Amino acid sequence: TSFIGREREIDDAKKALGAARLLTLVGAGGIGKTRLSLQVAADVLDDYPDGVWFVELAPLTDERLVAHAVATVLGVKEQTGRQVIEALVKHVADRCLLLIFDNCEHVVQTCADLVKKLLEAGSDVRILASSREPLRISGEMTFPVPALSVPGSQEPLAVEALPQYPAVRLFVDRAAAARPTFSLTPDNARAVADICQRLDGIPLAIELAAVRVRALSVENIASRLNDRFHLLTGGNRTALPRQQTLRALIDWSYDLLSEKERILFCRLAVFAGGWTLNAAEAACAGGDIAERDVLDLLADLVDKSLVTTTVESGRYGLLETVRQYADERLTQSNEGDATRSRHVDFYLAFVEQVAPDLFGKKQATTLQHLDFERENILSAHGWCLRNKGLAEQDYRFVHAIKHYWFMRGLLNLGHRVTTEAVLNPDGPTTGIGRCKALWVAGQICSFMGRYDEAQEFLQDSLSMARCLSDTRLVAVVLTTLSLASFGKGDHAAARMFSREALQIAEQSGNKRQIASSCNGLAQLLRSEGDIERAEPLYERVVTLARELGDAELTAVGLLNLAMVAIARHSIQRASNLLREVFVIVADTASRSAVQSALDVSVGLACLRREWSRAARYWGAAQALSNTIGVQRDPADEAFVAPMVAETRRALGATRFSAAEASGRELPFQAAVADAQAWLSTM
């Protein structure tokens, strides 16, 4: 079959082979090590006057036969009274040749011993090995063979662009071989890309999937990949048995593990999206595996190409295909529940520990850490939902992680997770944990404009907080209840809730709650046109936020002050405030803050009569709002709506629509850069 892709890997491997006498291609099963070694060997054939020789070791079941396999390939005969290794050493001593040792992992120790002797025997002998783990002898250079590149899950899928990805080209080539009428079309492009993504770019898995087009549409194949080990069978009859099904491929690697390596490998299936060493030690230690054993066992699994690692970030991972296999084994072992519960304990402790750092100098780093662990947090939440005894932990999860959803513009996801927790019929109906979770649910609903839903959650939370005599919790719930009432147009109730919240906060001296209550009350005043009373409250918000080191809250206060400045036609003050906000969001990457900053930029551009710019920023703000799920509160809507209407009148419907559309197409970072460049000219 045709060799697809790997142009860079071929060039790099040839250079490495020129620099080292032993080059070992390492990688997971089915990743294409053998095909790559053969292609490299074909390219360098003329460099070895005594030949390039291929030794296939996979069929061997007795490692004592490794030397005999090499001798058979080279045509070396065993002499009476002498071991075959001696004959091999004599044969290669004065020859310039390349030996390919293919699939060494199950006879790795014997291979290492033999390779060492052969390299010592002749200075012009070079060896290219392929294995799921290195030979670990002096002078060895390892070359990790990556999976084929696949389209990103968020990338636009123009059918003409997909063939740039080798995984897609491989699927199309093998599918066309299985069904000659098959081709890549706009109708099947999404499904083909999905297959390649979900199979991790593993060539053998992609080839097994492609064969299925004889009987299934690619859409049907993609939909059945959750049961990939049943689906991906029926490979080449002449191939080795372990290359005929996806399950057999991974069985081969699993069977070569020690007992402790197998236990750890299966337990690692509880992680989603990767993990750190600390997480593995916490979730996977127990029984036969002590915490101190995890590091060495994990390193062994990395060496054996079952676990991937990124040294710079200190994270480990499993290809999804490998993870599903490990998960099946974990379920069969009856250790799944205990391991998943330890996983929940670790990530609950993690989010509760880092939650305070979402406000302050560590904010950007903390957001990044939570980005890395998002899938694990969601997985832990899912396990809490399925286990009656973990509902209280789930309440703690949604409370600790709440600010992350806001800062990353993931309110739709946050709403789903939080409401699943509070609506779980198996959860406790009272207690501080439930009270906080209900408040979080109400807060998220308020930010999304789901005010009726928010009020239901918040009224329940407020009643519970009063019964618990938790005045701090009463204050935060009142502040959010004020926002929900404000959103429904009940200004009297909103004002009452805000004032009570501020009074409680002042009595307790809680700076964060004072700032939050001041901001809520100022929003009410500004929406009523009373900017004289609103402005000092916003100033106090900024002062308190700076004292707290809370970048997000500082940005909120500055944006509100910028809106006041625009209402006063103070262009320079508004631009100064906006510049500071964009410096903050460049560091925090808070999408909700960027959306608000673009709204204010609409107002400033309108004030400067830069109508096309105002329309463009409005389009960018709307696109971001649709993405993150945040709805403007009435005060912000009252600020921006007249500006947009004035811009539409100034440009006319056609020009306004064109400028707005150009803004909607601006990527997040491009919109920020555009606004910063504009503000720098003032």
Predicted local confidence at residue 241, as pLDDT: 53
Query: Which residue bears the tokens 């009523």?
Result: 528
Mean pLDDT of the chain: 91
Question: Do the beta carbons of residue 111 and residue 57 sit within 8 Å?
Answer: yes
Whether pLDDT at 577 is above 80: yes
Q: Model confidence over 8-41: pLDDT tens digits?
A: 999 999 999 999 999 999 998 889 999 999 999 9
Is the confidence at residue 85, as pLDDT, over 80? yes
pLDDT at site 234: 60
pLDDT over threshold 90, residue 615? yes
Q: pLDDT digits over 396-449, tens only?
A: 999 999 989 988 889 999 999 999 999 999 888 899 999 999 999 999 999 999
Tens digits of residue pLDDT in 635-675: 888 899 999 999 999 999 999 999 999 999 988 889 889 99
For residues 401 and 314, the model is more confident at 401
Residue listed under structure tokens 């079309």:
185
81 confidence band (pLDDT: 50, 70, 90):
low
The CA dihedral of 440, 445, 446, 452, to the nearest 10 degrees, is: -120
One-letter amino acid of 563:
M
For 232, counting Cβ atoms within 10 Å of its Cβ (0-12 exposed, 13-18 middle, 19+ buried), the class is: buried
CA nearest to 437, candidates 404, 461, 413: 461
- Least confident segment among 203-212, 357-366, 448-457, 490-499: 357-366
Percent of the chain at pLDDT exceeding 90? 68
* Residue 128 β-bridge partners: 23, 100
For the segment 203-247, what is each residue's pLDDT rounded down to a tens digit? 988 988 898 898 889 999 998 888 777 777 765 554 555 555 778
Q: Judge whether residue 299 has pLDDT over 80.
A: yes
Residue of 404, 403, 440, 400 lying closest to 420 (CA atoms): 440
CB 317 within 8 A of CB 275: yes
Q: For residue 417, what are the contacts with CB-CB under 8 A and spacing of at least 6? A: 378, 381, 397, 398, 401
Pick from 190, 135, 141, 142: nearest CA to 168: 190
DSSP summary character for residue 286: B
Give tens-digit pLDDT for 34-76: 999 999 999 999 999 999 999 999 888 888 899 999 999 999 9
Do 347 and 376 form a contact (C-beta atoms < 8 A)?
A: yes
User: Two tokens at 611?
Assistant: 């109508």
Give the closest residue to 509 by CA, choosing from 548, 537, 480: 548
Contacting residues for 604 by C-beta, under 8 A, at least 6 apart: 562, 566, 571, 574, 575, 578
The answer to whether the CB of 605 falls within 8 A of the CB of 663 is no
Residue 364 burial (CB < 10 Å; 0-12/13-18/19+)?
Answer: middle
